[in-house]
Chain A
């Protein structure tokens, strides 16, 4: 029963990843292309002169969007992720406690009581592993 629950949860996770990392991009593109073409380009004399068909708009959009996205992502990976990580690490009390307790053990400051309490907390989390 536990195995089945775990398997269902793993399928749920895989489904969410498939949706949020891959398929949602596809859905988002179709939404955007349909909405922009129907509500902005179609019926607009100036825009319709340049883009007469929805498939033309789709190709133009994808041909621009994909390289721009890659370039921005590259910039993001090189310059922004470390800021994101820093903000997250400064708001992560559990990880800070883990590292600080290890430091206190290493330097001999940690009391037996503190070590036991900390170890119990870790074991409680470990037990969640399937």
Chain B
């Protein structure tokens, strides 16, 4: 598999952006919007949180542990549901496994094996 220099950098850029830096952008957006358009305009909130940096600190201190706890819950309870649903909707993987099964049990015909192998080689060439 040969990928161009530009495509590799584009992949790395997207990984850096979508997995890491997007959090920073979203947090800054949320903090500024919430503070300037909500907290600053309501006296009650403004008395509670008089400065932007205090709100930012409070938000991060609450948000980060909450996100970690929710993520942990997701991994322990929800992730297996998602992988199951995704695999149950993956006909190509099912075909691959079923054909391997049929080869091992002797059910697969020579024609079917050849057709399957051609499909795999076509994918490999990408």
Chain A residues close to B by CB (< 8 Å): 21, 25, 28, 31-32, 35-36, 39-40, 65-66, 68-74, 76-77, 80, 87-88, 91-95, 98, 101-102, 105-106, 115, 118-119, 122-123, 125-129
- Chain B interface category by residue count: 35 or more
Complexed CA–CA distance, A25 and B14 (Å): 9
- How near does chain A come to B103, taking the closest CB pair, in angstroms? 10
Interface of A is mostly: helix
> Are A73 and B11 in contact, with the CB atoms below 8 A?
yes
Across chains A and B, the number of contacting residue pairs, with CB separation under 8 Å, is 125
Q: Which residues of B have CB within 8 Å of A73?
A: 11-17, 19
Interface of B is mostly: helix
> Are A32 and B25 in contact, with the CB atoms below 8 A?
yes
> Are B16 and A71 in contact, with the CB atoms below 8 A?
yes
B44 interface hit (Cβ, 8 Å): no
20 interchain pairs, CB-CB under 8 A: A31-B25, A32-B25, A32-B29, A35-B29, A69-B12, A70-B13, A73-B11, A74-B16, A76-B19, A77-B12, A87-B75, A88-B79, A92-B80, A102-B97, A102-B101, A106-B104, A122-B98, A125-B90, A126-B91, A126-B94
A119-B98, A122-B97, A128-B89 known; 12 new pairs, CB 8 Å cut-off, are A28-B22, A31-B29, A35-B29, A73-B13, A76-B12, A92-B80, A102-B100, A102-B101, A115-B105, A118-B101, A125-B89, A129-B92
